[in-house]
C-alpha cells in the first residue's frame, strides 16, 4: 500500500495511491480521521486495506499536489554518518559505536514536486538523499529481533542542509538542519509488507540529471532494526514517528570550491521500492 497526503480541489486530504490515482480517505472515513497521522495512530491499517478492495480512485495523481506524507508527526529523528566510508568525509577512520542523532521539525520539509527554498542567509545549501522509516507501534526497550514489527513503512527524504549553519552554535547541528522548507519527504509511504526485508533497498540521487549518490541500505552502519533498538533504550517511539536513516557518500572527488544548490536546480531521489522524490530549488523571497 502507498499512503499519501495531498491537496485536492483546494482541500488538504490523505489517502492511498492506486495506479495513477488516489483513493481519498477523507471521503471514505468521513470525520473519523483528520490526517494520515491520526489514521496510523488509530491502528486501522487492516481496515484501510478492506476499503481499497475494488474501489476506483477519486482523483488522478495529475490533479493533486503532494505534501509530506505525515504533516504533524510527534517526532522526526535523523541519523548522521550512517553509511560505510562516510567517516572519511570527517577525517575520522573509526566506525562509530553509537548512532549520531538530531531532530528536524515538520515545517522544514515539503512534499514531492514542491519547491525547496534556499534561505537568503546562506549560499551553502546542500542535499542528502536518504530513506526514512515510519513507526507503526508504540515501543520502549524494543529488542533488535522484534524491531521490524514496529515499522509501518518507508519513504524517501532529501535531508536539505545549510552547511555553514551546522556549527552556528558551539556544539549543535540543529540550525543548519531546520530551515523552513529546506528538505523534502515523499512521494508517499510504502507499507512494510511490500518491502522484502532480506534485500537492501537501493537509493540513487541526481542533481540536474547527474548521478551524485548511489548506494543501498546494505551499506548502513546501523540497520533499521539497530536504530529502533538503540533509540528505544532512552525514548518511547510512537505511531507515525519518523526515523531518517542517514545519507550515502557522494560520488567522485570533493569539488573545490564546493558546488552548492542554487535556484533552478532539480534534485531527484529514486528508489525502485519507494518511487521518486523530485524537487526544484527556489530562492527565499
Last residue of a domain, one of 16, 35, 67: 67
Alpha carbon dihedral 129, 112, 239, 245, in 10-degree steps, equals: 0
> CA-CA distance, 220 to 82, in Å (whole number)?
5
Residues 199 and 91 in one domain: yes
Residues 22 and 119 in one domain: no
> CA-CA distance, 126 to 213, in Å (whole number)?
13
Task: Report percent pLDDT > 90 for the chain.
Answer: 82
> CA-CA distance, 216 to 213, in Å (whole number)?
10
> CA-CA distance, 135 to 105, in Å (whole number)?
17
Residues 216 and 249 in one domain: yes
- The answer to whether 182 and 116 have CB atoms below 8 angstroms apart is yes
- The answer to whether 114 and 66 have CB atoms below 8 angstroms apart is yes
Residues 251 and 111 in one domain: yes
> CA-CA distance, 7 to 14, in Å (whole number)?
8
Question: Given this model, what pLDDT does residue 256 score?
Answer: 78
Range of the domain at 17: 2-67
Give, in degrees to the nearest 5, the angle at Cα 252 between 90 and 184.
75
pLDDT(235) > 90 = yes
Q: What is the pTM of this model?
A: 0.95
Domain count, the chain: 2
Query: What does the pLDDT look like over 253-282, one tens digit per residue?
Result: 777 788 999 999 999 999 999 999 999 999
Last residue of a domain, one of 23, 48, 67: 67
Residues 109 and 227 in one domain: yes
> CA-CA distance, 64 to 116, in Å (whole number)?
18
Amino acid at each position: 500500500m502507498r499512503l499519501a497526503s495531498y491537496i485536492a480541489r483546494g482541500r488538504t486530504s490523505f489517502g492511498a495511491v492506486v495506479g495513477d490515482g488516489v483513493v481519498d480517505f477523507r471521503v471514505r472515513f468521513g470525520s473519523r480521521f483528520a490526517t494520515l497521522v491520526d489514521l496510523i495512530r488509530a491502528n486501522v491499517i487492516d481496515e484501510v486495506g478492506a476499503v481499497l478492495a475494488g474501489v476506483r480512485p477519486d482523483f488522478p495523481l495529475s490533479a493533486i499536489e503532494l505534501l509530506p506524507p505525515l504533516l504533524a508527526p510527534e517526532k522526526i529523528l535523523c541519523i548522521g554518518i550512517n553509511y560505510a566510508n562516510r567517516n572519511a568525509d570527517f577525517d575520522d577512520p573509526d566506525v562509530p559505536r553509537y548512532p549520531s542523532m538530531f531532530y528536524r521539525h515538520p515545517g522544514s520539509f515539503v512534499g514531492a514536486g514542491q519547491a525547496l527554498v534556499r534561505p537568503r542567509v546562506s549560499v551553502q545549501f546542500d542535499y542528502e538523499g536518504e530513506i526514512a522509516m515510519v513507526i507503526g507501534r508504540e515501543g520502549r526497550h524494543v529488542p533488535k529481533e522484534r524491531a521490524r514489527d514496529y515499522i509501518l513503512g518507508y519513504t524517501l527524504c532529501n535531508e536539505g542542509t545549510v552547511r555553514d549553519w551546522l556549527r552556528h552554535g558551539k556544539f549543535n547541528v540543529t540550525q543548519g538542519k531546520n530551515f523552513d522548507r529546506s528538505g523534502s519527504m515523499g512521494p508517499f509511504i510504502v507499507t512494510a509488507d511490500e518491502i522484502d526485508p532480506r534485500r537492501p533497498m537501493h537509493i540513487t540521487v541526481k542533481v540536474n540529471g547527474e548521478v551524485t549518490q548511489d548506494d543501498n541500505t546494505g551499506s548502513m552502519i546501523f540497520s533499521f532494526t539497530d536504530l529502533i533498538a538503540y533509540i528505544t533504550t532512552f525514548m518511547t517511539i510512537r505511531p507515525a514517528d519518523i526515523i531518517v536513516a542517514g545519507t550515502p557518500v557522494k560520488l567522485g572527488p570533493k569539488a573545490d570550491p564546493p558546488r552548492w544548490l542554487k535556484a533552478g536546480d532539480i534534485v531527484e531521489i529514486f528508489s525502485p521500492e519507494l518511487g521518486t522524490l523530485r524537487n526544484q530549488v527556489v530562492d527565499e523571497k
